[in-house]
Structure 1
C-alpha cells in the first residue's frame, strides 16, 4: 500500500485512539497545530480551484476533519478537567496571550466566532448546498439532451460526449454529498458551544470541590483554559466553514478565486475614483481624522489611474493582435494547405430548406435531434452497426419545404414536407371524403395524401395510416441508412466493432485477425451481409464462422455464404414469422444449371458469365413471378440451392434489389416452406 494511503488510514486510527486513550499534553499541542494547518490548507485549496469538481473529495474530507476536531475536543477536555488545568502550551497560550489573560474578553471573542460561524457562514453554506443539489438534479435531463444534440450535430465526438455525461453525473453526486456534508459543519458548531459550556461548569465544580480553590480563582483558571480551548477549535472550524461556503458558491470560471475577484472587482477603474472621492469627502465633512481618509482615498485614486493605463495598453495590444490575426487568416486562405480542411466528407448529411427549420429547432418544438438519437439506437439494435454521426444543417439552395439526404457527400434521395399537414396512406379502399394534396410516401414509395389537421381523426377512423411530418422524415432517414448500411461500414468502423468484441471474446478475435483475415476482409464480409439487410449484431457467431473458414479460402463472397448459413436461425426469423409458413418463389433446376454452368473461376474470384438472351429470359421470369406475388399482398422471396444463391443475387440486385434471395441451408428445418411460383426459362 502506498505511504500516502497508509497515512490516511493511520489518521482514522489516531482519531479512535484520541477518543479512548488520554494523550500527553505534548502530543495534544502537536495535534492542535496540525488541526490549524489542515484547516488553513483546505481553505487555500478551495480558493484556488476553478470549479467544485476539482475538489470533489471535499465532502468526505469535511467529515474526517470534523471527526478529528471533535476527537481533539475530547482529548483537550480530558486534559483540562483531569490534569488540574494542565492542558498544554498551545491552549494556555491562546487563553493568556491571544485574549490578554482576560477570561471574559476571551469568552466574548469565542461567542462572536461561534455566532459568525453558526448563524452566518454555516447557515448560508447549508442553504446554498441544498439549492445547488436540487438545481443540479433538475438540470440533468436538459444537459443530457444538450449533449445528445451536440453529438448528433457532429459538434462533439462520442468520447467527448461520454466525458461530459460523466462530469454531469459527478456534479450531481458532488452537490448531493455537499448538501449532507454541510450538516456536519452545523453540528460541529453546536458541539463547540456545548463543550465550552460543559468545560466551564465542570471546571468550576472540580476547582472548588476537588482542588479547594476559591470561586473567583477557579472561574479564572478553568474559564481561561476553556476559552483558549474553544478558540483553538473554533478558528479552524471557522476556516473549514468558510471553505465550505467557497466551494459550494463557486460558479464555472476560467480562474481561481483570487484571479476572479481581482479581475471582476477591479474591472471598472472609474469606480475606484468614485470610491476614493467618497472617502475623501468623509474626511472633509466629518470629524474623522484627515490623515486616515486621505491615505485611503489616495490609494484608491492611484489604483484607478494604474488600472486605466493598463486597460488602454491592453486595448492597443488587442487591436494589433486582431490585425495580425486577420492578416494571418488571409495568408492561410492563400496557402495551398488551407484547402485540406475542405476535403472532409461527412458519412451522412441531412439538409433541409428554411421552411423546415422548426423541425430541428428545439425552441420551436422540433424534436428531430432526439429522433436521430433514437434512430441510431434502433439501428444499433436491428443491424448491429454503429451509425456514424448524422450532420444536420439547413441549405438555402433547397426549396423551403424540401430536404435532402446525402451519403458520403452524394445525394441519394430527397423529399418534401408540409409541416402544417399530416401524411395519410390509404388502406386500399379509398374514402372520397378524405381529400388533400397528392404525394408519395418517401421511404417506401407508396401513394399518399397531405391532409389538414381537421381531417386527421376522420382519416384514422376510415382506416388510413396517418403520420406527422417528423415521423415521415425519421422513417425515411432510417430506411435510407438501412439501404446504404454497407457503404457506411468501412475499415475504421469495422476496427471499432472488432475492438468491442475483443473485450469479451479475445481468443475468438485472435483466431480471426490479423491472420487469416485482415480488417479489410472482415469489412467486406460485414458489408455483404448488410447489403442484403442481414444484421451483424451477432458478431460472435460471425467470427466463429470466419475462424472456421478463413483458413480454407480468401474469397470473401464465399465466406459470406458460410456466415449466412451460420446465421440461419436469425435469417429464418427475419423472413418467417413464428409458426407461419414462408411463401417463396423457387428457382427451377434448369435455371440453376444454367447459372452454375455460367460461373467462371479466376484468380480474383468467381463471377457469372451468361449470354444476354439467357440472362434476359431469367430476369423476365423472375420479375413476372414477383409481380404475381405482390398482387396477392405477399412479400416476394426467392429460394434456391446454396451453390448458386450468391450468383442469382448478383444477377437481380440491379433490377429488383429489394427482393431477398435465400438458400435452403439458410432456413431452419422446422420452417414450413410453400412455393407460390417457379422461375423457369
Structure 2
C-alpha cells in the first residue's frame, strides 16, 4: 500500500478514536478549522463540476465528513462539560455571534439550525430520492438507445461499452446519494440534541461541580453551546448545500458559474425592466431614490454590457457560419449535395412570381396542398413535396415542370387574363390571343376581364391562370405517378397498412413477396391510372397469388381483377352502357399464339407486319371514336390484355385497355368498333 492509502486509513481510524479518547484544546482548534476548510473545499468542487460523476466519491466523502463532524461534537461536548472550555475556536464563534446578548445569539443560532434542517437537509434528501428513482427508471430506455445506435452503426462497440458503464455508474452514484443524504439528516438531528445536552447539562455541571452561580453558569455554557453549535452547523450547512448542488445539476455542459451567467443573464433586455421597476419603487414609495437609483443604474449598466457582448458574439457566430459555408463549398465533399434530385419541381419566370407570392394575393402554395390531397384521395399516392422556385432563364410568363430533374411539361400564362376553351364551335364576338390549353392541348384563347362574361354566355369554359397551372400540374402528376413511387414510398404505404392489418403484412412481406415486387405491381397500376388507395384488397390478392408467381405482370392482372368494381366505376357511367372497342377472335388468337415464355416472364413476339397491321386497325377505331366525342376504351380477353397494352405503350398510352374479368357482371357493354386483322 502507498503512503497516501495508509494515511487515509489512519485518518478514518483516528476519527473513530476521537469519540472515546479526550483531545487537547489546541489540537481540537486545529481539527475544527480543518473541518471548516474541508466543507468549503467540497462546496467549491461541487459548484465547478460539470457532471455528477466527476465527483463520484462525494457520497463516501459525505459519510466521512459527517462522522468527523460528530466526533468533533463529542470532543467539544466532553471539554465543555469537564473543563467549562472548548478552545479558542468555539469560544470565538460564541462570543462573536452573541455579541454580549445571549438572546440574540440563541435566536441567530436557532434560525441557522432551522434553515439547515428544514430547508437544505430536507430538500437535498428529497432531490436525492427522486434523482435515484428517475435514474433507475430511465436505465432500460438508455440501454435500448445505446443498442439502437450500435445496430445503426452510429457508434462502435467500445463507445457502446463506455456509455453502458456511464449509465451504471450514474445509477450507483444516485443510489449512493439517496442513502448518504440520510446521514446528513441524522447529523442535523444529532446536532440539535447535542446542543440541548450542552446547554442543560452544562448549566447543571457548572453549578454542581464547578461551583458557579446560576448566572455565571448560564452565561458561560450558553456562549460555549452557541460556539460549538456554530462550529459544527456551518460546515454541515456548506456540505448540505454541496449535496443539493450535486444532485440538482442536470442538462449542463459547464460549471455553476458558467450556467448562471449564460442562463440567468441570457436575456439582457429584461434587466432594463428590472431597473425600471426598482427606479419606480424609489419614486412612488417612501424607500426613496437614494437607495433604489444606484441599484437601478447597476442593472442598466449590466444590461448594456451584456447586450453589447451578445451582439458581438452573434456577429462572430454569423461570421463563423459564413466561413464554414464557404469552406464546405470549397471542400470536395460538397459535390455530394449536388447529386440530390427533387422528385417534382415547378419553375417559373419572373413574370409569374405573383402566383406564388402570398403578399400579392398568390395562392399557388395552397393549391399545391389541395393537389396533394386530391392525388391521395384519387390515386392513393402520397405525392412528395413539390419544390417551387423562380428561374430567370425562363421567359417571363413561362413555367416548366420537372420530374427527378428532367423536363416533362411546360406552358405559358398571361396574368390578368383568363383562358377560354371553346365548347366545340367558335363565337366571333369572343376574341383573344390564340393558345393551347397546356394540360390537354386543346385550342383556347387568352381573354381579358371585359370579354370574360361574354365568353361564359357563349358557352366557353373560362378559368383563371392559377387554375390552369393547378390542372396542368395535377395531370402531369397523374401521368407520371408511377415514377414517384419507389421502394421507400412503398415501405411507407406498407407501414401505414400494417398498423391496422398486421397479420396481412406479416403474411405478405417478406415471406411471400419483397418490397421491390410490391412496388412494381403498384407502379404498373398507377401507370394505367388505376388507383392504389384500396391497399388492403391489393395486398390480399398479392398474398394469395404471390405464392405461385413472382411475375409482376401476372400479379398485376390478378390485382386488376380483384379491383373489378373500382375499374368498372372508373370507366362506366351510371345507367348507360359502357362503349368499348373490342378485339376480334382472330386477332386475339394471333396475339395469344405469339406469346413466348422466358426466365424473366412472358413477352409478346409478334412479327412486325402483323404488329403494324393490328396497330393500324386499332388506330382507325380509336380515331373514329374520338371524332364522335367519346372516350375510346379497348376491351379484350384476360389472357391478352397485358400484351395488347404493351403494343399501345408508346403511341396510345392514354387509351385504357381492360379485360372482361375486370368488369362487374351487371354492367352493360356496347361495342362501337372491332379491331380485325
Q: Bin the TM-score by the shorter chain.
A: 0.5 to 0.7
Of residues 566, 583, 589, the one that matches 1:593 is 589
- DSSP 3-state at the match of 2:602: strand
Aligned counterparts, 1:218-257, within 5 A: none
**Residue of structure 2 in register with 1:454 after alignment:** 450
- Distance in 2, matches of 1:378 and 1:427, equals 26
- DSSP 3-state at the match of 1:678: strand
Report the CA distance between 1:266 and its aligned residue.
Answer: 3.0
1:493 matches 2:511: no
- DSSP 3-state at the match of 1:406: strand
**Residue of structure 1 in register with 2:500 after alignment:** 504
Q: Mind listing any 5+ residue stretches in structure 2 that lack a counterpart? A: 1-259
TM-score computed with the length of structure 2 as normaliser: 0.58
**Residue of structure 2 in register with 1:265 after alignment:** 270
Deviations, residues 498-524 of structure 1 (Å, cap 9, x unaligned) = 111112222222221112111111111
Report the CA distance between 1:362 and its aligned residue.
Answer: 2.1
- Distance in 2, matches of 1:371 and 1:622, equals 39
Of residues 345, 348, 352, the one that matches 1:349 is 345
Contact 1:485–1:531, Cα closer than 8 Å, also in 2:
yes
Contact 2:641–2:658, Cα closer than 8 Å, also in 1:
yes
Aligned counterparts, 1:441-590, within 5 A: 441-590=437-586
- Distance in 1, matches of 2:644 and 2:281, equals 96
Change in CA separation of 1:606 and 1:433 when aligned onto 2, cut-off 3 Å: same
Contact 1:584–1:677, Cα closer than 8 Å, also in 2:
yes
- Distance in 1, matches of 2:432 and 2:669, equals 42
- Distance in 2, matches of 1:518 and 1:279, equals 75
- Distance in 2, matches of 1:630 and 1:580, equals 18
- Distance in 1, matches of 2:481 and 2:377, equals 14
Change in CA separation of 1:658 and 1:323 when aligned onto 2, cut-off 3 Å: closer
1:670 matches 2:670: no
Of residues 606, 619, 630, the one that matches 1:634 is 630
- Distance in 2, matches of 1:259 and 1:325, equals 26
Change in CA separation of 1:373 and 1:309 when aligned onto 2, cut-off 3 Å: closer
Deviations, residues 29-48 of structure 1 (Å, cap 9, x unaligned) = xxxxxxxxxxxxxxxxxxxx
- DSSP 3-state at the match of 1:545: helix
- Distance in 2, matches of 1:462 and 1:316, equals 68
Contact 2:269–2:307, Cα closer than 8 Å, also in 1:
no
Change in CA separation of 1:263 and 1:640 when aligned onto 2, cut-off 3 Å: same
Deviations, residues 96-151 of structure 1 (Å, cap 9, x unaligned) = xxxxxxxxxxxxxxxxxxxxxxxxxxxxxxxxxxxxxxxxxxxxxxxxxxxxxxxx
Report the CA distance between 1:418 and its aligned residue.
Answer: 1.0
Report the CA distance between 1:574 and its aligned residue.
Answer: 1.0
- DSSP 3-state at the match of 2:667: coil
- Distance in 2, matches of 1:636 and 1:426, equals 22
- Distance in 1, matches of 2:304 and 2:482, equals 64
Higher mean C-alpha displacement, 304-313 vs 442-451: 304-313
- DSSP 3-state at the match of 2:392: coil
Contact 2:272–2:299, Cα closer than 8 Å, also in 1:
no
Contact 2:344–2:404, Cα closer than 8 Å, also in 1:
yes
Contact 1:279–1:297, Cα closer than 8 Å, also in 2:
no
Report the CA distance between 1:369 and its aligned residue.
Answer: 1.6
**Residue of structure 2 in register with 1:340 after alignment:** 336
Change in CA separation of 1:676 and 1:295 when aligned onto 2, cut-off 3 Å: closer
1:434 matches 2:430: yes
- DSSP 3-state at the match of 1:675: strand
- Count of paired positions: 415
Higher mean C-alpha displacement, 310-319 vs 327-336: 310-319
- Distance in 1, matches of 2:302 and 2:633, equals 85
Deviations, residues 563-613 of structure 1 (Å, cap 9, x unaligned) = 111111111111111221111111122222222222221111112222221
Report the CA distance between 1:641 and its aligned residue.
Answer: 1.1
Change in CA separation of 1:326 and 1:602 when aligned onto 2, cut-off 3 Å: same
Contact 1:569–1:667, Cα closer than 8 Å, also in 2:
yes
Aligned counterparts, 1:119-158, within 5 A: none
Aligned counterparts, 1:624-663, within 5 A: 624-663=620-659
TM-score computed with the length of structure 1 as normaliser: 0.57
- DSSP 3-state at the match of 1:366: coil
Larger Rg: 2
- Distance in 2, matches of 1:421 and 1:365, equals 15
- DSSP 3-state at the match of 2:573: coil
Change in CA separation of 1:262 and 1:655 when aligned onto 2, cut-off 3 Å: closer
Change in CA separation of 1:635 and 1:314 when aligned onto 2, cut-off 3 Å: closer
Change in CA separation of 1:330 and 1:680 when aligned onto 2, cut-off 3 Å: same
- Distance in 2, matches of 1:583 and 1:497, equals 35
Aligned counterparts, 1:73-112, within 5 A: none
Aligned counterparts, 1:108-119, within 5 A: none
Change in CA separation of 1:562 and 1:266 when aligned onto 2, cut-off 3 Å: same
Of residues 363, 367, 370, the one that matches 2:359 is 363
- Distance in 2, matches of 1:482 and 1:293, equals 75
Deviations, residues 463-516 of structure 1 (Å, cap 9, x unaligned) = 111111111111111111110111111111111111111122222222211121
- DSSP 3-state at the match of 1:373: helix
Contact 1:516–1:550, Cα closer than 8 Å, also in 2:
yes
Q: Superposition RMSD on alpha carbons, in Å?
A: 2.8
- Distance in 1, matches of 2:629 and 2:396, equals 37
Change in CA separation of 1:364 and 1:316 when aligned onto 2, cut-off 3 Å: closer
Deviations, residues 53-78 of structure 1 (Å, cap 9, x unaligned) = xxxxxxxxxxxxxxxxxxxxxxxxxx
Aligned counterparts, 1:287-436, within 5 A: 293-294=289-290, 296-305=292-301, 307-311=303-307, 313-314=309-310, 316-436=312-432
- Distance in 2, matches of 1:635 and 1:331, equals 59
Report the CA distance between 1:416 and its aligned residue.
Answer: 0.8
- DSSP 3-state at the match of 2:383: coil
- DSSP 3-state at the match of 1:266: helix
Q: Mind listing any 5+ residue stretches in structure 1 that lack a counterpart? A: 1-254, 283-287
**Residue of structure 2 in register with 1:605 after alignment:** 601
**Residue of structure 2 in register with 1:620 after alignment:** 616
- DSSP 3-state at the match of 2:645: helix
- DSSP 3-state at the match of 2:597: strand
Report the CA distance between 1:340 and its aligned residue.
Answer: 2.4
- Distance in 2, matches of 1:505 and 1:306, equals 63
Change in CA separation of 1:262 and 1:670 when aligned onto 2, cut-off 3 Å: closer
**Residue of structure 2 in register with 1:12 after alignment:** none
